[in-house]
Copies of this chain bind each other. A is one copy, B any other.
Amino acid sequence: MKRLFSFLTMCLITAGSLFSQNNMTTKFFDGKDLAILGKAFDTPHLYGRLPAHLEGKIREQLWYLGRNSAGIALRFSSNTTAVTLKWSVLNNFSMNHMPATGIKGLDLYVNEGDGWNYAGTAKPVGKSSEAVVIKNMERRVREYLIYLPLYDGAEKIEVGVDNDSDFNPKPENLMFSREKRVIFYGTSITQGGCASRPGMAYPSIFSRLSGVETINLGFSGNGRLDLEIAKEISRADFDVLFMDCLPNCTAQIVRDSAELFIKTIREQKPTAKIVLVENPKFPYLVLDKKTFSELDEENREWKALYLKLKKSDKHIYYIPGDKILGDDSETTVDGVHYTDLGFMRAANELYKHYKKIVKN
């Protein structure tokens, strides 16, 4: 009998019969052997975001967040009829305004020549989990993409396909351009708070819209223009850098650190496009006048810096915040952190600007 599983019985059922049935005919491949996307640096942990030499040199919280696997994705191709994912995470982290699927789950996209389509989500049940993500597919070769946890660190990932299927862990065509790589430097929002699942963080939506590899350098509460991060970015390969860190800064931080941050990158990357993103219009600001004026001051500092730099820098751009979240007040879970609705609108708005920027 087909029906949507009741929420109350879903866990029991998926943990039981479906898995054991599937395991009998499934072979597994370690994620470490798959093609990997979304990393700008060599890192001590395969699914981490910051290089080893920064440990102890940057603030502890920033280092901790660098171990979250936000924006990292694995690629493979196969003619399997089902995909099972086994994975473990570092912290088994939880929050009350973001589902576990986004914090520490995985999601799977498929490409059959018509763009990337969502296939399914691997829902976490603890530090280690296993889930059948899609089944009942016709047997033919498809390209696959797995997004890793946003607010936890993936430790080990295994990809399960039909025993008798072909499996290519490193497809020749990555299907995302590396030469035109885009880096997003920012906050908890950039890191993906509070997407329902990893693929809905806006840098990942942006990569599917643009066909370009994106790097997520969002650090929850810590996108504060640290000079060490600027130095790292200046060494990475990229074509466009979105600086969407303003919600973690004060006007004083902008005055103290923003120009040096940008110039540090500009020295090494004379023609890379650097895009300053303004604070979005957080929905509650029409009511909370105190916070409104604080953010307004930040925006004015940010814009003033842009206008100053623009005089001698023709590769610097500015995106106003007023259209990022659209016209209504419905895009966040808590007034600040985007839901999938907010992420979709933000990705579309940034992509609209991006197309103009790269045309120049």
Partner of A100 from B11, B97, B188, B221 at Cβ < 8 Å: B97
Which A323-355 residues have a C-beta within 8 angstroms of B?
Answer: 329-336, 339-342, 344
A359 contacts partner chain B, Cβ-Cβ < 8 Å? no
Number of identical monomers bound together in the oligomeric complex: 2
Instruction: List residues of chain B with CB within 8 A of the CB of A284.
Output: 118-120, 134
Q: Chain A interface: which size bin?
A: 35 or more
Whether B220 lies near A8 (C-beta < 8 A) is yes
Instruction: List residues of chain B with CB within 8 A of the CB of A188.
Output: 4, 6-7
Instruction: List residues of chain B with CB within 8 A of the CB of A247.
Output: 3-4
Instruction: List residues of chain B with CB within 8 A of the CB of A123.
Output: 96-97, 334
Q: Mark A278-290, 1 if CB is under 8 A from B, else 0.
A: 0000011011111
Q: Mark A88-125, 1 if CB is under 8 A from B, else 0.
A: 00000001111111000100001000000111110111
Partner of A4 from B196, B336, B341, B344 at Cβ < 8 Å: B336
Q: Mark A159-195, 1 if CB is under 8 A from B, else 0.
A: 0000000000000000000000000000111000110
Nearest chain B CB to A89 CB, angstrom units: 13
User: In the docked arrangement, what's the CA distance between A123 and B98, Å?
Assistant: 11
Instruction: List residues of chain B with CB within 8 A of the CB of A97.
Output: 99-101, 105, 121, 123, 196
Nearest chain B CB to A234 CB, angstrom units: 24
Residue ranges of A at the interface with B (Cβ–Cβ < 8 Å): 1-9, 11, 61, 64, 95-101, 105, 110, 117-121, 123-125, 134-138, 151, 187-189, 193-194, 196-197, 200, 205, 220-222, 224, 247-250, 252, 283-284, 286-291, 294-295, 329-336, 339-342, 344
Cβ contacts A to B, 16 pairs, < 8 Å: A3-B248, A4-B189, A4-B220, A4-B336, A5-B221, A6-B221, A7-B221, A96-B101, A96-B123, A96-B125, A99-B333, A136-B288, A136-B290, A136-B291, A137-B289, A330-B344
